Structure 1
């Protein structure tokens, strides 16, 4: 099994430390990440896994809403407290709080549903999208860049991420537009557990969702003095998903103001099936905002 994928699966394999009076408690490790801060997608995925552990297999997550409260420390494990808010005939609700050193770093509400029949429609996948095999990998784009973050993005992530029209790692080419798309796929097999695939999708959904905000203003990730952090994250799963097949993540930013940017996204299978939708607001601060207008 590939190293980064093996690491992701170990990270999501939480330890059940026992139920208390009003909550279930789990613990999980922190992955290495640049700048010493836990990757937000990791905490989202682990929090979802913790909630899934308190439910029968016939209830799948269909939505979650999380707030990032504090940066996580990669040197510390994370404790997850799950409160069983509601269990109805078709829907269940859970609240997960992620803690380090006794302080919450993430608070999440998520909802689960039994399989049901109903109306069915979706927005179509955009036309004219190049195949992922025709696009450069992150490792190819960052070849020769001697920096720990570049090395992590190139070879340390469990997902292959390929941008279109282009990446914004080192520079922003082309028009300054508030939209983009990425192809992404786990770089190893995940297995058949749909709960794990949905958690892994939550993990990967945090990679590039704020990039349309940066692209609109011509700001690459390499900008000195830039500070960017996820504030909240919402996600809806519409249909089953396989993260070890190629997925198209179509993204756009309707607004940025007050040091914050909002991005929306839709995730499609390669066959054009809409599997999930995402929304995230993030803090985006640059040394001289007027220079990017």
Structure 2
């Protein structure tokens, strides 16, 4: 018994050592953002000889469009998140509860959407016909179309584990389909909703290609894309560039740290119930 506990402790220690390597890039970015240009160009983990947090980040905020990019990123991410979670939850409830050929077709159709690449030409023409080109709403709809299959796949396994007796009881109490879903089923989906929400938010926040292709106005660019613009101004001053990178990744990093427990709980509960 003691040997087993010792083995588990040693294994846990080894895993903690490997996990520490994940923080090395973040530490490099943090230290580099506090150095002067000469020390930053060495790309080392050494402590800066002079901490320039005020000078460096003042330039990043003034020239890096940080506030503007943060507002754009939040608008697009929140709008995309609302559409994705709402559509995916409703769709997964239908797929899990209705057992016919059409529901099976819908499930596999959306699963195929996880593998299908986005068609830039047809998407551009569609947004143009809907007068959504070069708008945050249009970009949010693109994110929704690409991530709804992923969120639906996560939801379906969880919804299948919910007892059907809840539906019957709600119907007897006079609830219609939508009232039953929003008042009875949706509150029970909280664990998987938090999980899907965090993963979707991270995907939308970190993406830069869709914004680059479908937003021509750089005043609407998100934080990841503003790094590219900022790099054009300070190509060889990596202390400023890494400061911009740190501010861009910080919201997602903090969100993942706070929501890591919910991600694990939601994924495991979905796996067991599915």
| Length-normalised TM-score, structure 1 | 0.24
Larger radius of gyration: 2
Which of the two has greater helix per residue? 2
1 or 2 for the larger relative contact order (CA 8 Å, sep ≥6)?
A: 2
| Length-normalised TM-score, structure 2 | 0.25
